Amino acid sequence: MIVIEQLLRQRNLPEIFPKSEKSDFKLTSNYLVERRKEILSLLSHEIYGTAPEAPENVTVKKTDASQKYSDFAGKAYVSDLVISFETETGMFSFGAVEIVPKIKEKVPVFVFGNFRGDVPDRYLPAEEIIDNGCGVIVFDFNNVTADKEDGFSSGLAAMYDRKKYSWGKIRMWAWTESRIMDYLMTCDYADKSKIAVVGHSRLGKTALVCAAYDQRFSLACGNNSGCAGDALTRGKKGERVRQITDNFSYWFCENYRKYRDNEENMPFDQHFLLAAVAPRKIALGAAFEDEWADPDSQYLSACSASEVYEKYGFAGLVHPDRLPVVGDRFSGGQICYHLRAGKHFFSRTDWLVYLDEIKKL
């Protein structure tokens, strides 16, 4: 791996396992568990913010919605869900749509934060998901808290004191996906060992953050997640900490701003986020024309996080000694990376990869 090793050296990344510990590294599961906790607290402190404890009870009101949307030629149960839980200042509820194929076996399920509540949607090929024997619970992230700078006054953001929890909105959406997981744990139709979290772009960042903190997810699919998602920040092209915090500072905790034009001083990089998902599966989608996200930096992040998977005794990203080209799909290990042609978008091509990966669990 001469080429890739050299490219990684140029990025000057912080080590997931600091040197002193590495030299007399003992492969104890306890060490890996402790290091994951340290990485998560670093990510909470420096980028995504801290979140409240999970609520004790999550209740769900379910109503048939097969007429409202479609039941896809009678192939699926489609329901509106209202998901509720107690917060520090009262009850909070948000809506989602559940689509479950009418088959006898337990099914793999995607938790999907989307930009809209439409079913199907240009980012949600619902019938194809059903035909692949999978279920999906989709929600409009604006129903949780608005995707705008509003002084944390909308939805879930308004329910908690931000002096107590430093979470930005990415962490809020991710935390909400865990509330959907709370519900899924009670569903007979769901194969609990095959639950994935998936999202595109800002919601791809969210999906990775969700799976990093919540080990009940067996697969995290980050589509075109880029800056503050899967892509390495050091040496990144396109969007960097300055741009993302200029436009979307409310996605993060305050501390992230310290790294504007100062990325070399970050005590982490985005491979730490992937490391916190290990040894569970990750599927990363990149698009050739998506220079803002930077497909090479997405790929190198996966290469570098592979070290952690190896410590757990698995292969991470199985890849050749070169940068990716259009059409590449590396899915031989626990990390899958694909680079498709075209622009920043959540396309059917991407979904077909994630469907393969969930079915392989």
Asked if residues 307 and 18 have their Cβ atoms less than 8 Å apart, the reply is no
Site size with ligand GTR, rule: CB under 6 A? 7
Nearer to ligand GTR, 244 or 287 (CB): 244
Full 3-state SS string of 150-168: CCCCCHHHHHCCCCCCCCC
Hey, what are 183's tokens?
């519900």
Residue entry with tokens 């009418």: 102
Buried b (16+ CB within 10 A) or exposed e, 134-159: bbbbbbbbbbbbbbeeeebebbbbbb
Per CB under 6 A, which of residues 50..79 are in contact with ligand GTR? Answer: none
Based on CB atoms, which residue is closest to ligand GTR, 69 or 141? 141
* Strand ranges of the sheet holding 90-101, from the earlier edge strand across to the other edge: 58-64, 76-87, 90-101, 135-140, 107-114, 190-200, 219-223, 281-287, 335-340, 329-330
Q: List the x/- string, 189-218, binding to ligand GTR by CB under 6 A.
A: ------------xx----------------
Provide the minimum distance between the beta carbon of 295 and ligand GTR in the complex, in angstroms, as a whole number: 14
Provide, rounded to whole angstroms, the least separation between the CB of residue 323 and ligand GTR: 21
- Shortest Cβ 229–ligand GTR spacing (Å): 7
Tell me the closest approach of the beta carbon of residue 293 to ligand GTR, in angstroms.
7
**Residue nearer to ligand GTR on the CB measure, 209 or 244:** 244
Q: Are 141 and 203 in contact (CB under 8 A)?
A: yes
Which of 49, 108, 125, 226 is close enough to bind ligand GTR by CB under 6 A?
Answer: 226
Pick the closer one to ligand GTR by CB: 278 or 286.
Answer: 286
Stretch that binds ligand GTR, among 33-41, 126-134, 239-247, 273-281 (CB under 6 A): 239-247
Q: How far is the CB of 224 from ligand GTR (least distance, A)?
A: 8
Task: List binders of ligand GTR among 242-281 (CB under 6 A).
Answer: 244, 247
Structure tokens given for 71: 């039941």
* The one among 177, 239, 350, 357 contacting ligand GTR by CB under 6 A: 239
Of 173 and 330, nearer to ligand GTR (C-beta) is 173
CB of 214 to ligand GTR, least distance (A): 21
Shortest distance, CB of residue 228 to ligand GTR, whole angstroms? 7
Residue-wise burial string across 197-227, b where 16 or more C-beta atoms lie within 10 A, e elsewhere: bbbbbbbbbbbbbbbbbbeebbbbbbbbbbb
- The residue (of 114 and 178) whose beta carbon lies closer to ligand GTR is 114
Alpha helix stretches (DSSP H) within the chain: 2-11, 19-23, 29-43, 126-131, 169-184, 202-213, 241-248, 271-277, 295-311, 348-360
Separation between Cα atoms, residue 299 and residue 236, nearest integer Å: 11
Which of 40, 81, 170, 227 touches ligand GTR by CB under 6 A?
227
Considering only CA atoms, which of 241, 269, 273, 224 is closest in space to residue 13? 269
**DSSP string for 94-131:** EEEEEEEE--SS-EEEEEEEESS--SSBTTB-HHHHHH
Nearer to ligand GTR, 126 or 244 (CB): 244
**Cβ nearer to ligand GTR, comparing 58 with 241:** 241
Q: Does 136 bind ligand GTR (CB under 6 A)?
A: no
Q: By CB under 6 A, name the binding residues for ligand GTR.
A: 201-202, 226-227, 239, 244, 247
